[in-house]
Amino acid sequence: MFFTSDNASGAAPEILAAVTRANEGFARSYGADDIMARVTTQLRDTFEAPEAAVYLVATGTVANSLALAIHTQPWAAVFAHTEAHIATDECGAPEFYTNGAKLIGVDGAHGKMTPAGLAAALDRIGESGVHGVQRGMVSITNVTEAGTVYTPAEIAALTAVAKTKGLPCHLDGARFANALVATNATAAEMTWKSGIDVVSFGGTKNGCMGVEAVVIFNPAKAWEFELRRKRGGHLFSKHRFLSAQIEAYLQDGLWLRLARHANAMGARLAEGLASIDHVSQRHPVQANLMFPEWATGCHAKLQAAGAAYYDMPAPAGREGARLVTSWSTSAADVDQFLAALRA
């Protein structure tokens, strides 16, 4: 009954087997390995973008930060939802890697920016000449930090607002696969066809050991990314172990199967919670992440039964939680949790 995060799950057997295979013999270092050449083709095919530049790093923090840095000047602003991961959980890394770009929060219900809200923020910032930060970039998170999902049409509406100011757009896709299976969209529909210029393509939360891809749809930005990645200390010498993970992840649709299972377990958990009178959800449940509230005293009961999750603030007389299902969550895990909550 481990629902703290999909980061807490292990690596899928197919990923571990691929890393073991990659360990045999010798391979060129720093991304010149043969596996990486195949990964580049795989990701270009996945995104229907034959000219895209493809790079791998080990963490989502640096994937997001470098993706922002190659599009944003130090005196510019990055516009993102107020609760976006880059705004609340990166310890200032986006500001660090951009050499000082300012993050501007845009409010919106259930973790999602609206075109009107974004337009208002863009109109407010960048109008004071040399005395204020300039408009730099828009960043969209999918799946959002509230567990909700943007459709490609919703992303396109936001990027259309950004383009009126000439701004590039980033997609934080730490849970990109979960968003795709939730919407039945393709990777291209969710990204460049909807106006996205660069995407952080997550693997770690969905069954990989530790790897994220950055897919840049404007190849003119590629060399700058390579320099920033090296300068920032994130160019792996034994890069084949990153490459092997993504190759296995994409092979035969494994990444989508893993995400589909995580979402299915999320739906099973949400359905069970909805059947309990004193339980409510703070946000719509659309993927594998949810924020239920329940009666006081349930935390102690659940934790005594062995459940692990994060406590969240809640109104007086209520308790809040964050629950995340993963590729390795079982139906038995879900049912045991629900049984403990009903007990």
- The number of domains in the chain is 2
Grade residue 122 by pLDDT with cuts at 50, 70 and 90: very high
Grade residue 33 by pLDDT with cuts at 50, 70 and 90: very high
| CATH number of domain containing 194 | 3.40.640.10
Q: Is residue 3 part of a domain?
A: no
Average pLDDT, the chain: 97
- Based on the fold, state whether residues 236 and 309 are members of the same structural domain: no
Question: Quick check: 171 pLDDT over 90?
Answer: yes
Per-residue burial over 191-209, b if 16 or more Cβ lie within 10 Å, else e, is: bbbbbbbbbbbbbbbbbbb
Q: Which residues contact 241 (CB under 8 A, 6 or more apart)?
A: 19, 22, 23
Q: Is residue 133 part of a domain?
A: yes
Which pLDDT tens digit goes with each residue over 57-107? 999 999 999 999 999 999 999 999 999 999 999 999 999 999 999 999 999
- Based on the fold, state whether residues 150 and 223 are members of the same structural domain: yes
Domain end: 253, 285, 304, which one?
A: 253
What SS3 state is found at 322? strand
- Based on the fold, state whether residues 73 and 212 are members of the same structural domain: yes
Q: Is residue 51 part of a domain?
A: yes
- Based on the fold, state whether residues 99 and 201 are members of the same structural domain: yes
Question: Quick check: 127 pLDDT over 90?
Answer: no
Q: Tell me the C-alpha distance between 195 and 300, whole Å.
A: 46
Copy the structure tokens of residue 34.
């043969």
Percent of the chain's residues with pLDDT above 70 = 100
Which pLDDT tens digit goes with each residue over 319-336? 999 999 999 999 999 999
The residue range of the domain holding 278 is 255-342
Residue carrying the six token digits 């590629």: 222
Q: Is residue 128 part of a domain?
A: yes
Q: Which amino acid is at 212?
A: E
- Based on the fold, state whether residues 286 and 240 are members of the same structural domain: no
- The count of other CB atoms within 10 Å of the CB of residue 20 is 10
Grade residue 128 by pLDDT with cuts at 50, 70 and 90: confident
Predicted local confidence at residue 57, as pLDDT: 98
Q: Is residue 1 part of a domain?
A: no
**pTM, entire model:** 0.96
Q: Is residue 275 part of a domain?
A: yes
Q: Is residue 269 part of a domain?
A: yes
Residue closest to 31 by CA, chosen among 243, 246, 244? 243
The end-to-end CA distance of the chain, in Å, is: 15
Q: Is residue 6 part of a domain?
A: no
Least confident of 44-53, 73-82, 125-134, 248-257: 125-134
Grade residue 126 by pLDDT with cuts at 50, 70 and 90: confident
- Based on the fold, state whether residues 97 and 110 are members of the same structural domain: yes
